Every structure is written in structure tokens, then in C-alpha cells.
Amino acid sequence: MAKVVLVTGASAGIGKATSLEFLSAGHIVYGAARGVHKMDDIRDAGGHVLAMDARRPEDLERVTSTIIDEQGRIDVLVNNAGTVLHGAAEDIPLDLARDQFEVNVFAPARLTQLVLPSMRERKSGTIVNVSSIGGEIALPLGCWYYATKHALEAYSDSLRMEVEPFGIDVVIIQPGIIKTGFEDHTAQQLREISGTTAYGEMAEALAQRAEEQLGENSQGSAPGIVATTIREAVEADKPETRYAVGWMADKLLELNATLPDREFDKLVTGAAK
């Protein structure tokens, strides 16, 4: 049976790939993002597109009510929209940190509140929260991004236990390094925020590493591998609670789990020298 799927951040990268993946499997898909003009391929594939700014609560309410009015339900919510922020903790203005939490944590939480009543009534549904390997690990000069992903995972774990009695699944997706435009501005952010501060040497080293890893020669995985994982999780009778997927995902998570903290610190900060 076709599911009604809402994918946020659908204008590019993982969100777009996920929307097209669900469409190709015969599901009813609504892609939501600020850049409606970037979602023509979703519309051309038979999907629906909706304008949505994750920072605007009225947008979140309009999107969910529109889908429920048109389809009578939302079976799957894929919370994929997000932003990333790089710089030293000492240097980053707190208004930028608050914005990071607004998009990466509070928007998914509000959308979850909006879809849960109808899911509970039908005793079925799946909420997919796209986290990151950064939901379990942390690297230097990314404290606020990693903080949001850690928060999203803790939120998801608690939510999973709360809604399981109502037949609702909560799934966490942990992408590794993926070839998308998501981190195109990483090097620029590092240099602008911390390039001339006490953390300048570290910022420049990480900026150069980002240009190597995220540029044209990136070894990162294609976003389609994440999209396929999300669809398979949603279609599974009993999905796993977490899926690590993409280049370096399993390896970095394993190292973080097995190495003592200071040994892991040395490993990752060595790349910043």
C-alpha cells in the first residue's frame, strides 16, 4: 500500500534523493523546502512540492495541514532539513547557535508534534530523523552542529519509547560523508569565523581538509545510498533504531566507541595540524 510521505529539505542532497526514491517505489510524496524552484524534478516524477522555511512555525503547520487535508493522513515524516555551522566555540555568536538549534532540533520536534495525533489515531506511522555520525561523535570546530545532532538523537530515543505503544516507529539515520552541497561553505565558514582568531591555525588546517574531502575529488558516498536506506527502513516490518550509512560512517563510529576519549581526540585533532 502506498504511504503518504513528507520529506523536508527536499530541494537538494539527501532530501531530494529520498523524495525521488519514495516516488520510484510508488509512494505519495510531498517534498518541502524553501527553494520550491529547485524541486521541479520531484514534481515531474509525480510528487508534490510545498514551500517551507523550517524556522517559521506557521510554515510547519501549513505544510502538515495541507497534506492531511489532501490525503487524510501522513504515514511517514522524514525530518531531513538542516543547517551546519563551523567555527570555534569561543568565536561563534550565540545567535547563530540558536538558529542552528531552531532548524536542526526544534523544527523536527514541532513537525513531530503536528503529525503524531493522526498517527496515534491510526496506530501506525514512521518518523525518520536524519542525524549524522555527528550524533555520536564530535570533531573540533563544529560544536554547535554536533550539539544539535546529539540532541536530536536523545530526543529520538526518548520519543521512540513514548510512541511505540501506539504502533509508531522512530528511526535515526546517521550519514557519514555524503556528496551533497550541504557542507559546501565549510571552509569559508571556518576561515570567516575563526581564521583570524586564536584558533586560526586549526581552522585553516580543517578548511584545507574540508576542501580535499568535500570537493570534486571527494570519496564521499552518493546521497542515493542514504535515500535507499531510509526507504528500506520505512518499508521494513520492524526497522532498526539506527542506520549508519555512507563513507566512513561505520569506521568513525567504531573508533569512537572503542578508543578512550583522549585517544580519539588525538586521532581527530591530528587532522587539524
Q: Could you say which of 3, 11, 30, 179 is catalytic? A: 11
CA dihedral of residues 93, 111, 223, 26 (deg, nearest 10): -170
Catalytic residue from among 30, 145, 146, 199: 145
Separation in Å, CA 106 to CA 68, 98, 143, 202, 262: 21, 10, 17, 31, 32
- Is 149 considered catalytic here? yes
**Active site includes 11?**
yes
pTM of the model: 0.95
C-alpha cell at 28: 505519495
Instruction: Identify the active-site residue in 149, 156, 179, 243.
Output: 149
Domain 4-180+221-249 - what CATH class? alpha beta
pLDDT score of 95:
97
What are the pLDDT digits (tens) for 2-58?
999 999 999 999 999 999 999 999 999 999 999 999 999 999 999 999 999 999 999
Q: Which of 3, 19, 131, 132 is catalytic?
A: 131
DSSP one-letter string for 90-143: TTS-HHHHHHHHIIIIIHHHHHHHHHHHHHHHHT-EEEEEE--GGGT---TT-H
d(CA 12, CA 223): 10
Binned at pLDDT 50, 70 and 90, residue 182 comes out as low
Cα–Cα distance, 73 to 67 (Å, whole number): 7
Q: Tell me the residue type at 181.
A: G
pLDDT digits (tens, 9 = 90+) for 110-146: 999 999 999 999 999 999 999 999 999 999 999 999 9
Active site residue 243: no
The residue ranges of every structural domain in the chain are: 4-180+221-249
Structure confidence at residue 173 (pLDDT):
98
